[in-house]
Amino acid sequence: MSFRKDFVWGAATSAYQIEGAWNEDGKGESVCDMVTHTPGIIYHNHTGDTACDHYHRWREDVALMAEIGLRAYRFSVCWPRVMPAGTGAVNERGLAFYDRLVDGLLAAGIEPWVTLFHWDYPYELFLRGGWLNADSPRWFADYAAVLVDKLSDRVTKWMTVNEPQCYIGAGHWHGWCMPGLRLGLREMLLAGHHALMAHGAAVQVIRARARQTPVVGWAQANSPTVPASASAADVDAAWRVMAGMGGPGLPVQESIWNNTWWSDPALLGGYPEAGLRLYGAAAPKGKPADFELMRQPLDFYGCNIYQGYTIRAAADGAPEIVPAAPGRAATLLDWPVAPECLYWGVKFIAERYRLPVVITENGMSGHDWVDADGAVHDGARIDFTRRYLRELRRAAGDGAEVRGYFHWSLLDNFEWWSGYKHRFGLVHVDYATQRRTLKDSARWYRGVIAANGENL
């Protein structure tokens, strides 16, 4: 079992979580600025105002990527940095930042993988209803055109949106993801409908305007399940949960963590039956043209996979969740360590959507610190990543077309509602001094990349 020869080894970040420079060089405000500047929402009132100061330190960060031996770097563009009001005027100084970054990456031999949108929605458009506004797909397409025109002479790898599960489901219903709203189910689903149309419109723009043949995907938050045993009944039960709308017996709010509501319209042409049954009258009606727009051919399916839970078949064959044993391994965010979820998640996605898969995010939160010896000994991250990568390799060996893996994250960064409490990076960041320290995991990952994973 091996990874393909051209397997893409990378690391990922997103703009708001690392850039800082929240009000520099003509950048407009985003909903992230709105939320983080409201006291009492984010852990210790942390903000991304400075974050990792990547906006000013990107050269150093590219040098770190080269030191780790990354072949690719997934980053996102801050929409209101490029278009301060979200639509209309372009801010050339903001756009120039990404232009320089792309040049710097290519000069270091690192391929840029660009995500158009990772939650930092323009505040001015939020005031006009944001994703609830029926014009929002067009706003997004216009923004996409600006980036494609500027970068597609050098960038070929594009992802439209990151995790509608989060910025629509958690962000417009649960209230704990950007932009922090608690709307009704119907309004959340309408926002999601527009976001799916925006995805489709952006794919069209990329294909129509790119100066080199583009490779287009997205990044979804996938929720795999792991069968309790290899028995056909358990495997079937776990599979049914992955195709369904949230785990058995869980409240309806948990249904946003599904694999199909956000993917079927874009890849199979409509919302899944199970979702339409669950949401009933709240489900968006949608015109045929909406669904035509959503369904655009993709070149790869990007999966963000961190955790999974175990499912078994009850006596009657129905899926049931296996309760977690006390003291089971979990990361600092209390996400269960479940390496097999990379195997089962990838198998499910590859089979249902018949697309090559790229792991666009995977990693773990810890509370790493710089040891008295000056190093950062994050052995747990090495163990975590090794186990997950072995399962990914197993999926590839079983016939799933797995093209790449991006570790989340390159740097410790602003972890949304948890502020700087959680550290996800291969590189430790001291936020007071902005000093970067390669963790043990970064050195280990360098060896994995050099051996194309043969040494896992």
Residue 166 binds ligand FCB (CB under 6 A): yes
Is 163 noted as a catalytic residue in this protein?
yes
Q: Residue 429, SS3?
A: strand
182 to 241, contacts with ligand FCB by CB under 6 A? 221
Measure Cα distances from 55 to 93, 349, 356, 417, 439 in Å: 12, 35, 33, 22, 22
The count of chain residues that interact with ligand FCB, using the rule CB under 6 A, is 12
Give me the helices (H) in 90-135, please. Answer: 92-107, 123-126
Residue 416 binds ligand FCB (CB under 6 A): yes
Residue 115 binds ligand FCB (CB under 6 A): no
d(CA 447, CA 456): 9
d(CA 61, CA 73): 11
146 contact partners, CB below 8 Å, separation of at least 6:
82, 83, 90, 95
Q: How far is the CB of 242 from ligand FCB (least distance, A)?
A: 18
Buried b (16+ CB within 10 A) or exposed e, 443-454: ebbbebbeeebe
Q: Which of 228, 415, 438, 453 binds ligand FCB (CB under 6 A)?
A: 415
Q: How far is the CB of 258 from ligand FCB (least distance, A)?
A: 15
Q: How far is the CB of 429 from ligand FCB (least distance, A)?
A: 15
Nearest to 255 by CA among 270, 238, 235, 276: 276
With contact defined as beta carbons under 8 Å apart, do 360 and 74 qualify?
yes
Binding mask 393-412 for ligand FCB (x = CB under 6 A): ---------------x----
Is 361 noted as a catalytic residue in this protein?
yes
Q: How far is the CB of 177 from ligand FCB (least distance, A)?
A: 8
Nearer to ligand FCB, 3 or 301 (CB): 301
d(CA 115, CA 336): 27
Per the DSSP assignment, residues forming a β-bridge with 404 are 8, 358
Residue 156 binds ligand FCB (CB under 6 A): no
- The residue range among 160-168, 316-324, 343-351, 427-435 that interacts with ligand FCB, by the rule CB under 6 A, is 160-168
Q: Which of 53, 124, 361, 412 binds ligand FCB (CB under 6 A)?
A: 361
Residue 304 binds ligand FCB (CB under 6 A): yes
Measure Cα distances from 297 to 79, 136, 201, 400 in Å: 24, 21, 12, 19
Token code pair at residue 83: 């278009």
Residue 162 binds ligand FCB (CB under 6 A): yes
Of 29, 124, 163, 340, which is the active-site residue? Answer: 163
With contact defined as beta carbons under 8 Å apart, do 154 and 102 qualify?
yes
Of 111, 124, 361, 415, which is the active-site residue? Answer: 361
Nearer to ligand FCB, 32 or 245 (CB): 32
Nearer to ligand FCB, 75 or 239 (CB): 75
Residues forming the site for ligand FCB (CB under 6 A): 14, 17, 162-163, 166, 221, 304, 361, 408, 415-416, 424
* Residues designated catalytic: 163, 361
